[in-house]
């Protein structure tokens, strides 16, 4: 997968050089390219934003630099990249970023990210881009960041770990919470490792029993209890899908 990021804060994306994504880049599984938006300005002050038409607080990102930057990205398509990237635009007003959306993005050969400062990018940039490539506006949660770079880190990590060869077998994502197709879309329950007793707290006996049937049942019960406590909405969704699956609706 190729990933391009256009940003005025390339240093914000340094984390893409370390750990899981860093290793995937070193192994050639991911090809990540950063583009400094200000290199696509044409004034001496390298201006990227201006005050909003219609008034209001803050600044809006000007269309010309973005259009030039995206032209450069699309124009640099290599034979293995696919014709155009999918443009991912982090924004509080986007569609919720979910494991399903991460899965969907992980199946695409080329993603380009357009993190903006909070007040956003001139709408005409998104409209023009949508005439030549798929555009997905994505929210990583109902809260407001100062800029989209942090959202890019979240999305890239969630997508990269789904790519073949990125996670070792030991860290499979098959049993993730929210992994589509997972037997139950429930949250993970508690996990334990050595020592068997720590500060007077013992590991649940069942996990030391070696009885895999009992362990699996205990883990399902724990996942269900945790989901009921923390995310009852997911339990209702799980019940609905179970009813549908077994055609149990009255
Ligand atoms: N979910 C979410 C995205 C954002 C921003 C994206 C770009 C600027 S602020 N805030 N919250």
Interface pTM, i.e. ipTM? 0.98
Query: How many Å lie between the centroid of ligand 1 and the Cα of residue 18?
Result: 23
Q: What is the DSSP string of 170-204?
A: GG-STT-TT-TT-SS---------S-SEETTEEPP
Query: How many Å lie between the centroid of ligand 1 and the Cα of residue 241?
Result: 31
Query: Ligand 1 site: residues with CB under 6 angstroms?
Result: 90-92, 115-116, 118, 139-141, 143-145, 147-148, 151
CA dihedral over 86, 92, 96, 98, signed as positive or negative: positive
The atom number, within ligand 1, closest to the CA of 141 reads 1
Summary mean pLDDT of the chain: 93
Lowest mean per-residue pLDDT among 30-34, 53-57, 176-180: 176-180
Distance CA 23, CA 6 (A): 22
Query: How many Å lie between the centroid of ligand 1 and the Cα of residue 95?
Result: 11
Pocket perturbation via mutation, ligand 1, pick of 90, 140, 142 by most ligand atoms within 8 A of CB:
90
Pocket perturbation via mutation, ligand 1, pick of 49, 140, 155, 158 by most ligand atoms within 8 A of CB:
140
pTM for the structure as a whole: 0.91
Distances (CA, A) of 165 to 19, 113, 173, 211: 14, 23, 12, 32
In this prediction, residue 116 carries a pLDDT of 96
pLDDT at 215 over 70: yes
Nearest residue (CA) to ligand 1, atom 7 = 148
Tens-digit pLDDT profile for residues 105-119:
999 999 999 999 879
pLDDT at 185 over 80: no
Nearest residue (CA) to ligand 1, atom 2 = 92
pLDDT at 13 over 90: yes
Distances (CA, A) of 138 to 10, 66, 93, 161: 20, 18, 7, 18
Within a 10 A sphere around the Cβ of 151, how many other Cβ atoms?
24
Tens-digit pLDDT profile for residues 79-99:
877 789 999 999 999 999 999
The atom number, within ligand 1, closest to the CA of 139 reads 1
Q: How confident is the model at residue 181 (pLDDT cuts 50, 70, 90)?
A: very low
CA dihedral over 193, 20, 91, 53, signed as positive or negative: positive
Query: How many Å lie between the centroid of ligand 1 and the Cα of residue 143?
Result: 7
Tens-digit pLDDT profile for residues 144-177:
999 999 999 999 999 999 999 888 766 777 667 6
3-class SS at 133? Answer: coil
Pocket perturbation via mutation, ligand 1, pick of 6, 148, 150, 153 by most ligand atoms within 8 A of CB:
148
Query: How many Å lie between the centroid of ligand 1 and the Cα of residue 155?
Result: 12
- Residues annotated as catalytic (active site), given as ranges: 92, 119, 161, 176
pLDDT at 138 over 80: yes
């Amino acid at each position: 997968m190729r990933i391009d990021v256009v940003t005025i804060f390339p240093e914000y994306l340094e984390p893409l050089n370390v750990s899981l994504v860093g290793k995937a880049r070193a192994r050639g599984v991911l090809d990540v390219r950063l583009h400094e938006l200000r290199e696509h300005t044409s004034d001496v002050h390298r201006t990227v934003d201006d005050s909003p038409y219609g008034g209001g607080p803050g600044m809006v990102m000007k269309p010309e630099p973005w259009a030039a930057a995206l032209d450069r990205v699309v124009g640099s398509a290599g034979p293995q990249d696919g014709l155009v990237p999918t443009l991912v635009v982090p924004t509080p007003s986007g569609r919720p970023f979910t494991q399903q959306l991460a899965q969907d993005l992980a199946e695409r050969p080329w993603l380009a990210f357009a993190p903006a400062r909070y007040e956003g990018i001139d709408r005409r940039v998104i409209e023009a881009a949508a005439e030549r490539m798929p555009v997905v506006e994505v929210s990583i949660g109902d809260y407001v960041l100062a800029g989209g770079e942090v959202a890019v880190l979240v999305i890239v990590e969630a997508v990269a770990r789904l790519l073949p060869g990125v996670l070792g077998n030991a860290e499979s994502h098959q049993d993730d919470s929210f992994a589509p197709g997972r037997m139950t879309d429930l949250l993970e329950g508690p996990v334990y490792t050595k020592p068997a007793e720590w500060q007077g707290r013992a590991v649940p006996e069942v996990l030391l029993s070696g009885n895999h049937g009992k362990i699996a049942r205990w883990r399902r019960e724990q996942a269900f209890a945790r989901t009921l406590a923390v995310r009852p909405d997911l339990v209702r969704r799980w019940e609905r899908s179970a009813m549908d699956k077994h055609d149990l609706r009255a």
